[in-house]
Structure 1
Amino acid sequence: MKRLLTLFILAITFSFANVANAQEDYSALNLFVSFGDHAAINGHYEIPIAKNLTVSPSAVVAFDFDYIALGGRLDYYFDSLFKLNEPWDIWGGVDAGFVLGDDDKNDDFSLNLHAGVEYKLNDTWGIIGEIGGGTASFGGIGVGIHF
């Protein structure tokens, strides 16, 4: 069941890869670090699929290489709802995927909620802060690279 759900999320993510019209008219690579018990490097590639809506394949690699997580995200941008102008973005969403540990006992399915904010320094770079909760989400700080 877990594998079927992950394959479904990844299939949806890649099937919408050429559709545009989200908050921005470009894709973004978001890279950030999280600290604490789940210290890791996080990354996801946002693909616009509708006005204010993006999907993203995502990956998380623990600093101690104890685990990696692979999955997908769905984010909704609240900018038009809150009437926010550039350089700010605010979003909320859900992510799901598999957490693969260094032994089979650590393998698990994760389902998380998250919320974030970005301040864009220019058309290419932004500063990101994100918080989350669920089975494997922890938030962090990082950069957004817009294409």
Structure 2
Amino acid sequence: MKNIFTLLFAAGLFLALSGTAQAQENYGGALNAFVKFGDNSSISANYEFQVANSLTVSPEARVWFSGDNNLALGGRADYYFDSLFGLNEPWDIWAGVDAGFITGDGDDDFSINAHIGVEYKISDFIGIIAEFGGGTTTAGGIGVGFHF
């Protein structure tokens, strides 16, 4: 499964970098929903607010399918590399960190994770997302982005 995600990410990166000039893009106003796989199988969602040209912050919620964890609430920050790489729409590539508090079995824990992602926008409203990461509770996942 990791090889498939790696291959998809590499293909997306190659296609994205093969573009030409790009105008400044607005990354805020996006609702992203994921299904995450691996030992930490879960669903999660975040809503991005743009705070600088290529930087967003988001509140985030996550619910696990099974295991000791039940719910995570926290935030994340993402830096978009589109202008650095000269990417055109419909591609976005980012890296970031997320942190939050996890509830499960009566215990509250803190988690911190790093992630990278790629999105292909099918239209101005919707895109397909693949994200990969590592840390306390992160897992690779696929999802959709809704752009308002």
- The TM-score normalised by the length of structure 1 is 0.80
Q: CA deviation at 1:26?
A: 4.3
Distance in structure 2 (CA, Å) of the matches to 1:90 and 1:124: 17
Asked if 1:120 is matched to 2:121, the reply is yes
Shift in Å, 1:136? 1.1
Say how many residue pairs are matched. 124
Amino acid across the alignment from 1:120: K
Q: 1:132 to 1:51 in 2, by over 3 A?
A: same
Asked if the contact 2:27/2:49 (under 8 Å) is kept, the reply is no
1:96 aligns with 99
Identity %: 63
Give a deviation string over 1:27-67, Cα, whole Å, max 9, x none. 10000101222110010000111100000000100123841
Residue number in structure 2 paired with 1:7: none
| Aligned residue runs from structure 1 range 1-147, under 5 A | 23-24=25-26, 26-64=28-66, 66-104=69-107, 107-147=108-148
What are structure 2's unaligned runs of at least 5 residues?
A: 1-23
Moved over 6 A (4+): none
Q: Which amino acid aligns with 1:61?
A: V
- TM-score, normalization by structure 2: 0.79
